[in-house]
Structure 1
Amino acid sequence: MALRITVIGAGPGGYTAAFDAAKRGAEVTLVESKWLGGTCLNCGCIPTKTLKSSAEVLENIRRAAEFGVKNEGTPSVDMPAVIARKRKVTETLCGGLEKSCAKLKVKVVMGRGQVVSASLVKVTMPDGSVQDVEGDRVIIATGSNVLNLPSMPVDGKYILSSDDALELDHLPARLVIVGGGVVGTELAFIFRTFGSEVTIVEGQNRLLPVPSVDEEMSRLLLREARKKGIKVELARTVNSTKVEDGKVYADLGPSPFLAPELVPASAKKPATLEADCIFMTIGRVANSNGLGLAEAGIATDKRGYITVNDHLETSVPGVYAIGDILGPARIMLAHMASAEAHVAVANIFGASETPNYDVVPSGIFSSPEIGDVGLTEAQARDKGFDVITSEFQFRELGKAQAMGELPGVFKLVADKASGRLLGAHFAGAHATDLIAECVLALQMGATVADIAGTIHAHPTLAEGVMEAAANMAE
């Protein structure tokens, strides 16, 4: 008899697990409360990149004269059309998932799943009825939701979540983005290109205050943001908001997350920002409502994220968890959820695999883009490595000059004694694609000499990786 596996959540982790298990011969039921594709496909990765593509087209049209192309008239963004295209892209990809489910005979049940045990999941259907799904194993992949704060209650009109921002069918003249992390930064560049006046408020003392992002990339992005007219308020937080006469006002104060000596005097002065709307992009929370974790005996941490062992099994034997529901103690990225899916399914079928969290690329779709993998320079030093670094500027590449994409840098981090690559951090055009070479290099334990000795096509942006490696290998 085929192994019966119930997967709760149809995002990148969930549908990958379902497809993998089905290909191995399991009888799979995929339970989803809202939409196939989850956050990534419907209100995350894909929608933001679709909007960014519209912003890039608009920017290229505005720059047409630089390339000897005449452009009559003034280009502008048509927000309803942008949103319509975004929805079409999402619908196309969702349709592809539906076809894959049908092809692999994955049974899709639309409803909210509650784990009772490894052998039973109760699903509350849209009409309120409850359906029992029996099986042998369960994989929880319900992901995360946007975080809201009482001081800035999301109303969908003046104070918007990142989900709301991706459905905005008009262009706000003045926009405040609370949070200078990945989502906030991406939205800032998109809406600035569309024509909004944008101010980012970030509680830390740099943009992209993410451990995996090298501080040099943060400095470069801050410089480029200001060049594009994006205002950035670092070391500040929003203490309160109010809506009055069709505008929203945000009162700023010094960040409580930094030691007083790290807060500049300018950030200690009270200030009020007036805007048409505020985007809240301050973090995520576990999507665990109604899952019945406590009742089933599934352990969580103090923030409600599920805890698992090295093989992704929860405290209840036969119940596994993957993706964002594991929280920031792991890596909350769509491709990591997919990788964890393969590990969990393999272990259900008798393997003893563990996810590799040391070689996980990250792509940030700001302007310029940022791609990174492995250790930052600071992380490598903290781990005791005798570190050597090398950089190569985008503007030194013939392809970058031809494209008119000059801002950017390739930075490699390596162990001085062995030359082994420890990390790679790129900022510039197509950095999110270019990082893949160094992901493979790290996976294989390559040295910078290996990269420098690999012939790269000319003229390409990828030559910058080779040049940075060659500078280090000399």
Structure 2
Amino acid sequence: MDILKQHRIRYLQGIGTITGPDRVTVRGHDEEPWEIPWERLILALGSAPLDVPGIPVDGRRILSSNDALEVQTVPKSLLIVGGGVIGCEFAFIFSAFGSQVTVVEAKSRLIPLPSVDEDCSRVIQREMAKRKISFVLESTVERVEDKGEGLRVFLGASAFAESQPGKIRRPASLDVEKVLLCIGRKPDTTGVGLERIGVKVDHNGWVVADGEMKTGVSRVYAIGDVLGPSKVMLAHVASREGMVAAENAVGGAVRMSYDAVPNIIFTMPEISNVGLTESQAREGGFQVKAESVLFRNIAKPHVLGEIGGMAKIVFDAGRGRLLGVHLAGPCASDLIAEGTLAVKSGCTIQELADTIHGHPTLAEIMSEVFMKALGRPIHG
């Protein structure tokens, strides 16, 4: 709140509804509603957990990802539906608190996002196994039955299955204390009144905005999760979109760029990536080469006692230009900043290998992988 006061920003807590072309009504808990006039409007409505048909959330034993942030006791056993970003983050968190965690994912790997390199998924799967976090791939939850003291979850084959029938070892059912649903997000626009001013949404309800964050309605902008997966649903991206929208709202002509966005996943170890994966680079017609180095090959991870993980780079062998950086390891969320700048600036592998990195630091992993790409690794 201090930073809002510092910038002379008025903060109102309540539910806002667009009531006209130049007016928003905000209703608090116990007070009369505020009528707020506006000349420029920035929509930062966010998203909400997606529902699973046939598995109703009750907030007690069947939880949404929002509910998981408010649990008062740690469940002895927890089944997480969805092995994407949110599901895997919660898997490590609840495991660290002592829960016996099982993750059920419909696709053939955990965190099966196009932007996440398959090697990073393999690292996370290995680390889950070390922590005794179970995961079942190419499977879906068919139904959940109340067994009094717990829940019985019935599993079936996924429509996304790539393996031959019978190759996946899948239990018919699992008994757990709680179920956590983490299968995606939906736009949080119900009751806002977008239709009153003509803001367009796509077929899934996500708000449509251009590179200047304009919605198509004069003087109305949109940022963040409410734009959906056609943009990038990350907090730091939303922050940058907010800067673009604010500058354009006062007469600027700034465009948002999504060319070099760091994607960060707070698993244990962390995952971060920027640029193209190896498969994306091949599909793009580049002369692709990739190299990777294990964190255990440098000194600092041994000091920290966190030696799991690797650093991988993807580059154009013809021009020597860096195309992508993929990290799974300690402080990957911090280390990706170097890769983001390098991808954004179009740096070559030679330029990056010639950059001195401090010792002993985790950043040496970047120096090592760049040197390896030139055929001159220091630590093998």
Correspondence for 1:323: 224
How far does residue 269 in structure 1 lie from its aligned partner after superposition? 6.0
1:174-199 alpha-carbon deviations (Å, 9 max, x no partner): 11111111111111112222222111
- Are 2:109 and 1:206 equivalent residues in the alignment? yes
1:26-49 alpha-carbon deviations (Å, 9 max, x no partner): xxxxxxxxxxxxxxxxxxxxxxxx
State the distance in 2 between where 1:399 and 1:105 align.
Answer: 44
Cα contact 2:21–2:196 (8 A) shared by 1: no
- Give the letter for the 2:254 counterpart: E
Q: What RMSD over aligned residues (CA atoms) do the two structures have, in Å?
A: 1.7
Cα contact 1:253–1:267 (8 A) shared by 2: no
Distance change (3 Å), C-alpha of 1:420 and 1:138: same
State the distance in 1 between where 2:144 and 2:58 align.
Answer: 12
In the TM superposition, 1:280-295 aligns within 5 A as 280-295=181-196
Correspondence for 2:77: 174
State the distance in 2 between where 1:338 and 1:266 align.
Answer: 44
Cα contact 2:274–2:326 (8 A) shared by 1: yes
How far does residue 109 in structure 1 lie from its aligned partner after superposition? 2.1
What secondary structure does 1:110 align onto? Answer: coil
What secondary structure does 1:305 align onto? Answer: coil
How far does residue 120 in structure 1 lie from its aligned partner after superposition? 2.0
State the distance in 2 between where 1:403 and 1:125 align.
Answer: 47
Cα contact 2:139–2:170 (8 A) shared by 1: no
Correspondence for 1:133: 36
Correspondence for 1:110: 13
- Are 2:158 and 1:158 equivalent residues in the alignment? no
State the distance in 2 between where 1:129 and 1:266 align.
Answer: 62
Correspondence for 1:395: 296
Would you tell me which structure has more helix in proportion to its own residues?
1
What secondary structure does 1:145 align onto? Answer: strand
- Are 2:156 and 1:253 equivalent residues in the alignment? yes
In the TM superposition, 1:237-316 aligns within 5 A as 237-256=140-159, 258=160, 261-262=162-163, 264-267=165-168, 271-316=172-217
Correspondence for 1:344: 245
- Give the letter for the 2:138 counterpart: A
TM-score, reference length from structure 1: 0.76
- Give the letter for the 2:166 counterpart: A
- Are 2:284 and 1:383 equivalent residues in the alignment? yes
What secondary structure does 1:332 align onto? Answer: coil
Correspondence for 2:378: none
How far does residue 122 in structure 1 lie from its aligned partner after superposition? 2.6
State the distance in 1 between where 2:16 and 2:145 align.
Answer: 38
Correspondence for 1:450: 351
1:288-344 alpha-carbon deviations (Å, 9 max, x no partner): 011111232110011111001221111211100000000011000000000001111
How far does residue 270 in structure 1 lie from its aligned partner after superposition? 6.5
State the distance in 2 between where 1:285 and 1:125 align.
Answer: 24
Cα contact 2:260–2:343 (8 A) shared by 1: yes
Distance change (3 Å), C-alpha of 1:263 and 1:177: farther
How far does residue 360 in structure 1 lie from its aligned partner after superposition? 0.7
Correspondence for 1:433: 334
Cα contact 2:21–2:197 (8 A) shared by 1: no
